[in-house]
Amino acid sequence: MSSIDNDGSAAIQRQIDFGPTREMTVGEAVTAYEVEQTAAVINAGNYRRVALQFPDHLLSHSTLVSTELQGRIDADARVFILADTSYGSCCVDEVAADHYSADLIVHYGRTCLSLSSRIPVFYVFGRDPLDKDHCAELAAGCLEGRRLLVMSDVPLAYAVPEVAQSLGRRRDGEGALVFGQVVASEIAVDGRLYDPKQAGVAAGRSWQLPREESIGDYTVLYLGGESLTLTNILLTVRCRSVFSYDPATRLLREESLQVNRHLARRFKMVQHARDADVIGIVVGTLAATRYLRVIEALKGMIRRAHKKFYVFVVGKLNVAKLANFAEIETYVLVACPENSLVDSKEFFAPVVTPFEMLLALSKSRQWTGDYVTDFHAFLDDADRELMDEAVDDDDDRPHFSLITGALKQSRRFNDPREDVDGEGQLAVRNGRTEIAQYLGSAGAEFLLTRSFRGLGHDDQESRSDEPALATEGRSGIARGYANER
């Protein structure tokens, strides 16, 4: 009872642990956060309002970095810190930066490499420590004779060329090269300013393979620990195998078992999406390029499948927010490649990616294990699906559900054959034979099936026709109202 009946001082004085944060000297901060290089970019571009975006675990260094940066830029230029992000910290937060009319964003730490659509961005990845010699030694012992593609998490991007070069020069005791071919991946925005008004910069990672060789011939050596970046690479890069080297544990391991289990879970969610009749499109980014086209493509696919959709903008995703919409059977999240892979075990309805929704609604495509998380690749697939979409005269044909193990007859929404002279459908409103009209609303249909529809609803038989007089309510606070003292 004491936890409820108190003056609230315990909550005000409670200390919150954000995890271990290493204190940095001025010199360490200037080097780690590339303050000199960032100041040169700001001065060269004549930027005057600069937003500094830090992930939560680096906010403790933000004031030191901003102070050092402010002292190195022009006198009329100003920097400010974004205290919170609208969505994931890996995405560039153009929404928050627009509130202060920023003309440049400096993004620190891990990033999903989704390009911004309006404001120029300068990325500072940081430099996590890596024992390059130890990594190369383990790779030479376990991956001898293979073709290697070296990739990394963004804080280790600086080490990729050196590791690839070291592996490419390694020879065995007889003087022969240990590896058949070693290719280093590149990040287009590494160390350079990205301006959405200038074309020619590709999103994400890229690599150049020799002629007549495919990615299926290569083994990926990933530098970094477990992360959403690694999961995204496992799903989208169709290589021979993936090995990861974790600098923290100094271990090299194969990741094949992890991807097989993950794909099995994603396949199950595709089947849930196939059975769904009411779909929620959740907007999980407002900065990634072409996200509006992805939303429009999803709307078109859902309409052609005669299903119902609703669009939601809820900010950072959590279980409680989506639980408010019980009529939604499946959500499709439009977000960056890393944040779109949501483990929805705790959610009341599955959360799938746009590519998974494309597979669920397609009548010709089958699950092959190939996976797409990039917006550009998804739009290309959606355009091909639209061109290849054949006219099916038997739209009412049921399909076999792998979830229920029975044939499922889908409900029909957005069907022009059922829209005669703009007339809607009629439903019994209450026990007094009143009727109500609704126009194909999934929300209205769901409300009619609920036993409780809210206080003062007009279908209550016992409601009073006489208006009630206004009376004075209780005053005070919940822990002790005035009439309880």
pLDDT for 23: 77
pTM of the model: 0.75
Burial of 301 (0-12, 13-18, 19+ CB in 10 A): buried
pLDDT for 387: 67
Rounded CA gap, 1 and 3, in Å? 5
pLDDT for 463: 54
pLDDT for 210: 84
pLDDT for 4: 44
HEC string for the chain:
CCCCCCCCHHHHHCCCCCCCCCCCCHHHHHHHCCHHHHHHHHHHHCCCEEEEECCHHHHHHHHHHHHHHHCCCCCCCEEEEECCCCCCCCCCCHHHHHCCCCCEEEEECCCCCCCCCCCCEEEECCCCCCCHHHHHHHHHHHCCCCEEEEEECHHHHHHHHHHHHHHHHCECCCCCECCCEEEECEECCCCCEECCCCCCCCCCEECCCCCCCCHHHEEEEEECCCCHHHHHHHHHCCCCEEEEEECCCCEEEECHHHHHHHHHHHHHHHHHHHHCCEEEEEECCCCCCCHHHHHHHHHHHHHHCCCEEEEECCCCCCHHHHCCCCCCCEEEEECCCCCCCCCHHHCCCCEECHHHHHHHHCCCCCCCCCCCCCHHHHHHHHHHHHHHCCCCCCCCCCEECCCCCCEECCCCCCCHHHCCCCCCEEEECCCCCCEEEECCCHHHHHHHHCCCCCCCCCCCCCCCCCCCCCCCCCCEECCEEHHHC
pLDDT for 281: 94
Amino acid letter at 114? S
pLDDT for 177: 76
Burial profile 78-114: b = 16 or more Cβ within 10 angstroms, e = fewer: ebeebeebbbbbbbbbbbbbeeeebbbbbbbbbbbbb
Q: Which residues of the chain have pLDDT under 70?
A: 1-22, 173, 175, 197-203, 257-260, 369, 387-400, 402, 405, 408-441, 444, 452-465, 485
pLDDT for 18: 52
Tens digit of each residue's pLDDT (9 = 90 or more) over 272-283? 888 888 999 999
